[in-house]
Structure 1
Amino acid sequence: MLSVLSPVAGTAVGLSEVPDPVFAQAMVGPGTAIRPHPGPQEAVAPVGGLLVKLHAHAFVVLAEGDRGVLVHLGIDTVKLGGAGFERLVAEKTEVSAGQPLIRWDPADVTARGLSPIVPVVALDAVGDVISRAVTGAVDRGAPLFRWA
């Protein structure tokens, strides 16, 4: 059982509330999403493992059992070309669960006309069970869901 932590502080909601059909219909995998609190914050690794992908606005950590967890900071934020995001570690680095990876400000994303919602997805989890998904207020680094 892999415990996946919340990468940001905010309100946990279902993936169906993400304004992007790829995430909302769980095409990339099951998971949940967080409506982040406005203001500067650091997004943390939801699991420990190898940081296999690191973009300014998104990252994937490969945990035990080759389980990849995707965190996407906002929707369509790739259009910002990295503006408003600061990477705190390098790609291909071993990271610990709860380790800060990216500094950003969800209010800045909103001011640019984009959704700051943060999908947290269990990649390639077809047939796997995602359980105990939290809803409501969630602190950064708190348990978000379990991946069996």
Structure 2
Amino acid sequence: MTTVLAPVTGVALGLRAVPDPVFAEGMVGPGMAIEPDRAPGEAVSPIAGTIVKLHPHAFVVVGDEGRGVLVHLGIDTVQLKGAGFELLASEGDRVSAGQPVVAWDPSEIEAGGRSPVCPVVALDAAEGSVAALVDGKVRAGSELFRWT
């Protein structure tokens, strides 16, 4: 079992609430989403492992057991080409769960007309293998869901 931490502070939501069908319909995988607080902050690693993919708006961390977790900071934020994000780690870095990876400001994302909601997805996970641990308010670095 893998315990996945919340990468940002906000309100935990089901993936169906994400305004993007790829995430909402679980095409990327099961998981949860977070409606982030509208304040500058840091997105932290949801698990201990290695950053295998790192973009300013999204990153994937793979744990020692081979399980990967995707954190996507906002919807359609790839279009920003990195503006409004600051990388605090590098691809290939080994990170601990809760370690800061990207600094960002969700209110800036929203001001630009995009949703700052953050999908947190268990990549290549079987349907039904993710169980929510929280409903409502969540802090960055606290438990979000379990992946069995």
Displacement after TM superposition at 1:64 (Å): 2.9
Moved over 3 A (4+): none
- Please tell me the residue identity of whatever aligns with 1:142: S
Give deviations 1:71-117, integer Å, cap 9, x for gaps. Answer: 00000000000000000011011000000000000000000000000
Displacement after TM superposition at 1:27 (Å): 0.4
With normalisation by structure 2, the TM-score equals: 0.98
Q: How does 1:1-148 map to 2 (within 5 A)?
A: 1-127=1-127, 129-148=129-148
With normalisation by structure 1, the TM-score equals: 0.98
- Please tell me the residue identity of whatever aligns with 1:22: V
Paired with 2:132 and 2:58, the residues of 1 have a C-alpha distance of: 24
Give deviations 1:8-65, integer Å, cap 9, x for gaps. Answer: 0000000000000000000010000000000100000000001000000000000132
Q: CA RMSD in A?
A: 0.9
Query: Which segment is superposed worse, 132-141 or 46-55?
Result: 132-141
Give deviations 1:99-138, integer Å, cap 9, x for gaps. Answer: 0000000000000000000000000002461113322000
Any stretches of 5+ residues in structure 1 without a counterpart? none
Paired with 2:34 and 2:16, the residues of 1 have a C-alpha distance of: 12
Equivalenced residue count is: 148
Paired with 2:127 and 2:25, the residues of 1 have a C-alpha distance of: 15
Percent identity of paired positions between Structure 1 and Structure 2: 59
